[in-house]
Structure 1
Amino acid sequence: MMYRPHYERLTDPVDVGSADRPGEFPPDDETVDVAGVELPPGRSRYYTRDGTTTGIRLGWETAEPIDDAYRVWLSLVRVFSTTGLWPVVGRLGYGTARPWEQHHHWKRETAQDRPNTIERVLAEAWDGQAWCDARTGARLPETRPPFGGLAPGTAETGTNLFPSTDAWWYRPGVITLIAVKYPWEAPGVGGWDLALNQSLIGADFSAVLKSWQERFGAHMLSAAELVVTRPPQDSDQAVRLAEEHRLVCPYDSQFHDPDERPGEYADGLIGSTRWQFWWD
């Protein structure tokens, strides 16, 4: 799937910040008010183990899609530091089971024996994409240019500016609330599982999102889409960031489309206010 860059005007000031603590979920099956933002009735989602629901909450989601999902999302982002509930349009994952409880080879989200940083995630992705002998499985001599390191971030200029709700149409969707202290924690807490075929779990994507938020003001809008308040401004940033995107999401056809000239994806990142991914 090929995504095109988006260049919405960044006009709505929002001081996202962090919460004092993860928030309390709304009650189930009734209309709720989340710090002044009214939401229709919804229900909590729980982790399951061996097909049985546990008492561990993934999040809370509206029972029906909301027409003006982006407007509601941005309203909830505005009050996040008060509520400790990060909003996501749609669900964060396909299922409700933890991978390591279904497959013994999966690493745990709470593993303490490896640093939970973007550097570790990208290094593992780089290592996992090395060429191997088809018969023996032995690793072949390295011919790829070395990874150029993380892209330099775009400097902060004060309060984050988000795309205006007046200028941006967004498809209807349920609103999911994830109880976290920091926005980037949402994938690890909320059961994000879009990249299991790449051995990436929610904690991995949280580590990536933390770095992208710090460097580019990237915030999770949906499980596969980020709103970016400080996008890259030059080709050096964009080329290096494009390589980060490719390592995190290597099977996305936007990195392999034969109709795209080399560097076109990186060019599109300059000034782009949304990043979209496709894990298949």
Structure 2
Amino acid sequence: MIAHPPLPAEVQVLFVDGDAVGRTLSVPLPPGQAVVSDEGNGDGPVLWLSARSPESGLWARLRAEHGRSGLWPLLLQAHDVDDDEFRPWGAGELFPAGMSKPQGHDPAALLAGWWADHTTVAEDVDMLPPAERLAVTAPYGRDWPGLAPSADRGNDPDRVADDLADELLAVFSKLRLGLVAADRGSDALTVAGWVGPLNHTNDTAEISAVVADWERRFGVRVVGVGFATLDLSVAAPPTTHEQALAVAAEHFAFCPDNVWQGREPCTLTAYAERLVGERSWSFWWD
């Protein structure tokens, strides 16, 4: 049996009540530091942040170590690529104390409620006539179609996630590595106190609950997180337009800006066409 060294001291502080005991990490880390929330809750650091962009393949090695380390890796992007503070991560604009627990939420109920909110026609503020407004979510209109069925998983979720990590590093030159003490990637969003979807929900645990359900149904993995963006790998994407339309409805409920402010035409049907066979899902909240 190979003996692995314990967690580095600057990473051990991510675990409370001595939970780091017995955890190991054989992968060398680049220079970095633990980040404390600027809300001053006194609970200690919420994540570890590298000082520079990680090398290709490091995310995958850390992901493979998650079972021993209890640390989920994230590729983090700043609000502004030239921001020396690397907001929100380096500036500590992270608020875990204000979050509930992901396990306390029903993903199906959350999505149904958000769908109802986003398909309600508010004639006093809506810029579109009611008929055009409801045409955006055709063929469903205001009728919530329910959760999309689980898809057949023909790909290894971890391998697909590793590939997306390398793709993100190739596209974005100033990503940094984050490590969060979380049981899985979906939980890491809440544990870190990320508030990117603040204009959609002020409780990131709700976002984590839905993503956790996608982890189960579609082999999703959390890979990249920005100021208000989220990049997920998908091992079991929809393979037909019918399947994709049901998934698109969930995406609209989860992040309506993906459709409202996405590529034209800004309709659920057009958005669904882009989901067929797509192994990554990206979200952006205005």
TM-score, normalized by length of structure 2?
0.71
Question: Is residue 244 from structure 1 mapped to residue 250 from structure 2 by the alignment?
Answer: yes
Aligned to 1:86: 72
Question: Is residue 55 from structure 1 mapped to residue 43 from structure 2 by the alignment?
Answer: yes
- Count residues with an aligned counterpart: 237
- AA aligned to 1:185 is D
RMSD value, Cα: 3.4
Question: Is residue 228 from structure 1 mapped to residue 218 from structure 2 by the alignment?
Answer: no
Over 3 Å counting, the alpha-carbon distance change for 1:245 and 1:192 in structure 2 is same
Aligned to 1:207: 209
Distance 1:165 1:225 in 2: 12
Distance 1:200 1:249 in 2: 13
CA contact under 8 A between 2:248 and 2:268: conserved in structure 1? no
| Residues 134-175 of structure 1, C-alpha deviations (whole Å, 9 max, x = no match) | 29xxxx9xx733110111111345853624659844534211
Over 3 Å counting, the alpha-carbon distance change for 1:116 and 1:125 in structure 2 is same
TM-score, normalized by length of structure 1?
0.72
Over 3 Å counting, the alpha-carbon distance change for 1:216 and 1:207 in structure 2 is same
Over 3 Å counting, the alpha-carbon distance change for 1:201 and 1:181 in structure 2 is same
- AA aligned to 1:251 is D
Distance 1:115 1:154 in 2: 25
Task: Give the match's secondary structure for 2:159.
Answer: strand
Aligned to 2:93: 96
Aligned to 1:125: 114
Task: Give the match's secondary structure for 1:38.
Answer: coil
- 1:256-271 correspondence to structure 2 within 5 Å: 257-259=263-265, 263-271=269-277
Over 3 Å counting, the alpha-carbon distance change for 1:111 and 1:203 in structure 2 is closer
Distance 1:215 1:180 in 2: 20
Over 3 Å counting, the alpha-carbon distance change for 1:235 and 1:253 in structure 2 is closer
Over 3 Å counting, the alpha-carbon distance change for 1:221 and 1:201 in structure 2 is same
Question: Is residue 148 from structure 1 mapped to residue 145 from structure 2 by the alignment?
Answer: yes
CA contact under 8 A between 2:112 and 2:146: conserved in structure 1? no
The unaligned stretches of length 5 or more in structure 2 are: 1-5, 12-23, 79-86, 135-140
Deviation, 1:183, is 2.7
Distance 2:124 2:44 in 1: 43
CA contact under 8 A between 2:259 and 2:267: conserved in structure 1? no
Question: Is residue 28 from structure 1 mapped to residue 18 from structure 2 by the alignment?
Answer: no
Distance 2:156 2:111 in 1: 29
Task: Give the match's secondary structure for 1:225.
Answer: strand
Aligned to 1:75: 61
- AA aligned to 1:176 is G
More strand by share: 1
- AA aligned to 1:218 is V
CA contact under 8 A between 2:252 and 2:259: conserved in structure 1? no
- 1:181-196 correspondence to structure 2 within 5 Å: 181-196=183-198
Distance 2:200 2:60 in 1: 31
- 1:29-44 correspondence to structure 2 within 5 Å: 35-44=25-34
CA contact under 8 A between 1:192 and 1:201: conserved in structure 2? no
- AA aligned to 2:59 is W
With CA pairs under 8 Å and 6+ residues apart, which has the higher RCO, 1 or 2?
Answer: 1
The unaligned stretches of length 5 or more in structure 1 are: 1-23, 102-107
| Residues 67-92 of structure 1, C-alpha deviations (whole Å, 9 max, x = no match) | 42xx2111211121111100000169
Deviation, 1:262, is 6.0
More helix by share: 2
CA contact under 8 A between 1:28 and 1:41: conserved in structure 2? no
State, as a whole percentage, how many aligned pairs show the same letter. 25
